[in-house]
Amino acid sequence: MSDSRIVMQDDEIFTEEHKTFRQTVRKFAESLAPHAEEWDEAGIFPKEVFKQAADLGLFGIRFDPEYGGMGLDWWWTAAYAEELVHTTNAGVNMALMVQSDMATPIIDELGSDEVKRNFLAPAIKGDMIAALGISEPGGGSDVAAIRTTARRDGDDYIINGQKLWITNGTRADFITLGVRTGDDGYGGITLLCFPTDCKGFSVGNKLKKIGNKSSDTAEIFFEDCRVPARYILGHENMGFYHIMTNFQGERLIAAVGGVAGLEKAVKDAINYGRERKAFGRPIVKFQVWKHKLVEHMASIEAAKRLSYFAVDKFIKNPMGATREITMAKLFVGELTQRVLYDCMQMHGGFGYTTEYPISRAWTDGRLITIGGGTTEIMKEILVKCEGL
Ligand SMILES: Cc1cc2nc3c(=O)[nH]c(=O)nc-3n(C[C@H](O)[C@H](O)[C@H](O)COP(=O)(O)OP(=O)(O)OC[C@H]3O[C@@H](n4cnc5c(N)ncnc54)[C@H](O)[C@@H]3O)c2cc1C
């Protein structure tokens, strides 16, 4: 298929089967929505939600059927990400997407049969919770500066160090972990599967956040943790490249899901604006809001087409879509700030309460320019892509 797919209509991309799948995901997401505030207050959500998502096949969409996956393509992941926004709870969505699209794709791609049976298959079934452990207290953007070490000792690695910001970190059963096995810099990093029942592993503080509150974000510690060296993913000292490959899917799902979140926020704002009256008319009838809304709709449509273009390119050439994925993450991240600000403003005082989903969307949405690579890092990558 050529790049002309970008001008195709959505109903040419998504089949009747996608639509049925969408309905299933939406029903699941809407069943979680009433709990959003309660789970935000608790700073966690019930573990059973992982199992519920797994039972719908959401953790193995693209993965090898031999390990329980569905072997489908990225358009199915796009449909999943778009419908998941109906939880109105980005914390839950992020936790689920770490399991489905951030900690596990690299295992499906590079893991040995044993690693896939021990970690991927139970993650797909929802019997194990997965986390991705890359960022450290010393820095998240500078992945090449990872300091957590893994020293080879016979058939094992001995791991020492600390990770920070780890989503699902308080209850993960395993972590797709970036460690230093070699010299300083990007050439000395290795990726491996780390089982958290390992002696010497501990969870520190659960971080208090301003958004995505339902998901646990933890600091974790490794003290002389011994794991089999055969739990390696890919090649020793090639971890930096594997991490960068893995980031592509993480950034793409953030962009696609982000666009769907904006579409929902605008729709909700319009509905609110039709109900709420000021100076004798619905506030949506004020020209200032009509203009802002259509301007945002135009930008959201552009963001969607850019994201879909990136999906299409990623399907055709997984190693050749960095430019488009990075552009999509950058564009959607920055657009999110403007759209959610205006949608919240349209709600007036109610936008500043927890009465409507817009306040949660606004605080949750702040993360997209930070997590999975900041806006500034997206620009740095694009500078390289464009040879500037
Ligand atoms: C809620 C949440 C969940 C997260 N979940 C995970 C997870 O599950 N696993 C995981 O590994 N990580 C996770 N992270 C970490 C996240 O990926 C990092 O926060 C992010 O990559 C930024 O790293 P940092 O926080 O160390 O900021 P820093 O790297 O210290 O950056 C600080 C500022 O400096 C800017 N900056 C840095 N380098 C440059 C440069 N070269 N040029 C210009 N500006 C620059 C950044 O853009 C940023 O604005 C999570 C973070 C949050 C907040």
pLDDT of 87-145, one tens digit each? 999 999 999 999 999 999 999 999 999 999 999 999 999 999 999 999 999 989 999 99
**Is the confidence at residue 41, as pLDDT, over 70?**
yes
For 338-350, letters b (16+ CB in 10 Å) and e give: ebbebbbebbeee
Q: Which two tokens stand for residue 187?
A: 């050439």
Residue nearest to atom 7 of ligand 1 (CA): 166
> Which residue, by CA, sits nearest to atom 38 of ligand 1?
141
Among 137, 374, 134, smallest CA distance to 254 is for 374
User: Would you name the residues annotated as active-site residues?
Assistant: 250
Q: How far apart are CA 149 and CA 222, in angstroms?
A: 9
Residue whose tokens read 């810099």: 185
pLDDT single digits (tens) 208-266: 999 999 999 999 999 999 999 999 999 999 999 999 999 999 999 999 999 999 999 99
Q: Residue 3 has what pLDDT?
A: 52
Give the single-character DSSP code of 223.
Answer: E
Of 55, 157, 67, nearest to 107 (Cα)?
67
295-326 per-position pLDDT tens digit: 999 999 999 999 999 999 999 999 999 999 99
The torsion defined by the Cα of 306, 312, 318 and 319, in degrees rounded to 10, comes to -50
Reference 378, options 97, 141, 117; nearest CA is 141
The residue among 87, 96, 68, 98 whose CA lies nearest residue 29 is 87
* Mean pLDDT of the 67-76 span: 98
In whole angstroms, give the CA distance from residue 47 to residue 92.
11
- Angle (CA) 219 222 224, round 5°: 170
- Return the residue whose CA atom lies nearest to atom 32 of ligand 1: 141
Which atom of ligand 1 lies closest to the CA of 103? 8
| CA-based nearest residue to 178, from 124, 140, 230, 128 | 140
Pocket of ligand 1 (CB under 6 A): 98, 131-135, 139-141, 165-167, 209, 212, 217, 367, 370-374, 376-377, 380
pLDDT of residue 7: 59
Grade residue 10 by pLDDT with cuts at 50, 70 and 90: confident
Going by C-beta distance under 8 Å and a sequence separation of 6 or more, which residues neighbour residue 268? 343, 356, 357, 358
Mean per-residue pLDDT, 143-154: 97
The pLDDT value recorded for residue 2 is 45
Average pLDDT along the chain: 96
Q: Helix (H, G, I), strand (E, B), or coil: what is residue 261?
A: helix
Atom of ligand 1 nearest to the CA of 135: 11
In DSSP notation, 29-97 reads: HHHHGGGHHHHHHHTS--THHHHHHHHTTTT-TTS-GGGT-----HHHHHHHHHHHGGGS-HHHHHHHH
Phi, psi at residue 160, to the nearest 5°? Answer: -140, 135
pLDDT for 9: 77
Distance (angstroms) between ligand 1 centre and the Cα of 371 equals 6
Residue 139: the pLDDT is 83
Q: What is the pLDDT of residues 336-354, one digit of tens each?
A: 999 999 999 999 999 999 9
